[in-house]
């Protein structure tokens, strides 16, 4: 590794700033419009709708806030059952608990690592009174969306798309996040575009988005004085961070192309190592390949920790696959449905055998060569 700058840090997925962001932020400062809301917020909502084909959008301070409002607007109340994937980050599931509802976890299926339709169907058999389904498109790969939505339609429950990781991904030609009752995007610092922190709730239901804006601005009633008939939240995006998002959105397609090139490079580089399998992509969709991940075949002498430790020795960031929610201490008493109905879970196997590889779009050709060489070296290649 002597060719690479000794102290250079290679990140899993860090922000990539281009310059246009400063123009929009400068406008906010020049007009003294740095407080929440403002022209950048309005424009960012409009531009996200134009890019994705969503009908309406509400810019918020996090993707988690967007999920919370989606759950609330779906009519979820205290004690209600909401189905959510087990293989995800906790931000998908925490908002269910904010509303004092009960998350029930659904295993992933092996073809996309996303929510298993057959496990979801069995969950409805036990909990026909469930109020909503939240599906995640893990690492930017669309789920088997048609099947999931068909099940939701049959049981007359709203389908909420946690597209936090999949902005720009498509399923059968349509942007993820625009297919269900509600869709959410995240602009956290590690996502494919960022506002430093922030999120967006989208829907074809304009009245629902207006309600989201109402709840996101402290649920202030229409009165000259400050009057509140319902509990609200301070969830709206600021005019400054929306300016960053507008500049980033100009480069989204470029970021997606670079992410896909990283995935393709890894897949080609590890094709001769039988123990390695890259994270699956849905042939009915176009993934943004936000993170490139690999799993190691059971029985291999190599473990994910060995690969991550080798990369860490050379100042390269990698991470484990998300630890499934049904294995988290906070949710250990919640119900869980496996993909095939047995005791073994696909999500558990993926977690135990997988890791996320450095997927930063600023990686140079030399960086990629060295990452690949280190990983291959762990396997004796």
Does domain 252-378 fall under CATH 3.30.1120.10? My reply is no
Mean pLDDT of the chain: 96
pLDDT at 4 over 60: no
pLDDT classification of 33: cutoffs 50, 70, 90 = confident
Q: What is the pLDDT of residues 264-299, one digit of tens each?
A: 999 999 999 999 999 999 999 999 999 999 999 999
**Structure confidence at residue 1 (pLDDT):** 45
Question: Which DSSP letter does residue 55 get?
Answer: S
pLDDT classification of 105: cutoffs 50, 70, 90 = very high
Q: Please say whether the beta carbons of 357 and 319 come within 8 A.
A: no
Q: What is the pLDDT of residues 334-346, one digit of tens each?
A: 999 999 999 999 9
pLDDT at 2 over 80: no
To the question of pTM greater than 0.85 for the whole model, the response is yes
pLDDT at 232 over 60: yes
Say yes or no: do domains 20-249 and 252-378 share a fold.
Answer: no
More confident residue, 263 or 7: 263
**Structure confidence at residue 170 (pLDDT):** 98
**Structure confidence at residue 219 (pLDDT):** 87
Torsional class of 173: left (φ above 0), alpha (ψ -120 to 50), beta (otherwise): left
Length of the chain: 381
pLDDT at 158 over 70: yes
Please state the rounded mean pLDDT for residues 106-119. 98
Please state the rounded mean pLDDT for residues 302-317. 97
Q: What is the pLDDT of residues 63-73, one digit of tens each?
A: 999 999 999 99
pLDDT at 224 over 90: no
**Structure confidence at residue 116 (pLDDT):** 98
Spatial distance between the Cα atoms of 310 and 75, rounded to a whole number of angstroms: 48
More confident residue, 130 or 1: 130
Q: What is the pLDDT of residues 355-380, one digit of tens each?
A: 999 999 999 999 999 999 999 999 99
Distances (CA, A) of 230 to 225, 226, 328, 370: 15, 12, 33, 56
User: Which residues are bridge partners to 217 per DSSP?
Assistant: 234
More confident residue, 218 or 115: 115
**Structure confidence at residue 6 (pLDDT):** 59
Q: What is the pLDDT of residues 51-62, one digit of tens each?
A: 999 999 999 999
| Domain edges within the chain | 20-249, 252-378
Spatial distance between the Cα atoms of 199 and 67, rounded to a whole number of angstroms: 9
User: Which residues are bridge partners to 105 per DSSP?
Assistant: 84, 336
pLDDT at 5 over 90: no
Among the CATH numbers 1.50.10.10, 3.40.640.10, 3.40.50.10440, 3.40.50.150, which is that of 20-249?
A: 3.40.640.10
Q: Please say whether the beta carbons of 59 and 200 come within 8 A.
A: yes
Q: Please say whether the beta carbons of 371 and 358 come within 8 A.
A: yes
């Amino acid at each position: 590794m002597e060719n690479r700058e000794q102290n250079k840090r290679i990140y899993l997925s860090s922000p990539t700033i281009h310059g246009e962001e400063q123009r929009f932020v400068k406008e906010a400062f020049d007009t003294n419009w740095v407080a929440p809301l403002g022209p950048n917020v309005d424009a960012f909502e409009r531009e996200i709708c134009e890019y994705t084909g969503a009908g309406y959008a509400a810019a918020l301070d996090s993707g988690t806030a967007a999920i919370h409002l989606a759950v609330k607007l779906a009519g979820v109340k205290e004690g209600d059952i909401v189905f959510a994937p087990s293989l995800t980050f906790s931000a998908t599931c925490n908002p269910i608990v904010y509303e004092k509802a009960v998350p029930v976890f659904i295993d992933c299926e092996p073809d996309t690592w996303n929510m298993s339709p057959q496990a979801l169907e069995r969950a409805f058999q036990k909990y026909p009174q469930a109020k909503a389904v939240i599906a995640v498109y893990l690492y930017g790969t669309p789920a088997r969306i048609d099947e999931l939505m068909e099940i939701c339609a049959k049981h007359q429950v709203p389908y909420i798309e946690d597209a936090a990781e999949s902005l720009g991904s498509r399923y059968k030609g349509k942007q993820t996040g625009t297919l269900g009752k509600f869709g959410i995007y995240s602009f956290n610092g590690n996502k494919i575009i960022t506002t430093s922190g922030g999120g967006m709730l989208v829907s074809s239901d304009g009245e629902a988005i207006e309600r989201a804006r109402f709840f996101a601005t402290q649920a202030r009633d229409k009165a000259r004085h400050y009057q509140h008939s319902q509990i609200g939240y301070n969830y709206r995006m600021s005019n400054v961070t929306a300016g960053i998002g507008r500049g980033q959105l100009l480069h989204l397609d470029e970021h997606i192309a670079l992410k896909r090139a990283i995935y393709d490079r890894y897949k080609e580089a590890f094709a001769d190592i039988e123990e390695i399998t890259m994270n699956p992509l849905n042939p009915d969709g176009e993934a943004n390949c936000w993170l490139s991940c690999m799993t190691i075949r059971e029985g291999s002498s190599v473990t994910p920790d060995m690969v991550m430790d080798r990369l860490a020795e050379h100042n390269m960031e990698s991470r484990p696959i998300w630890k499934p929610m049904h294995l988290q201490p906070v949710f250990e008493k919640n119900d869980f449905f496996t993909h095939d109905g047995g005791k073994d879970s696909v999500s558990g196997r993926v977690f135990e055998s997988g890791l996320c590889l450095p997927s930063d779009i600023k990686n140079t050709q030399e960086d990629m060569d060295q990452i690949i060489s280190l990983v291959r070296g762990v396997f004796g290649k």
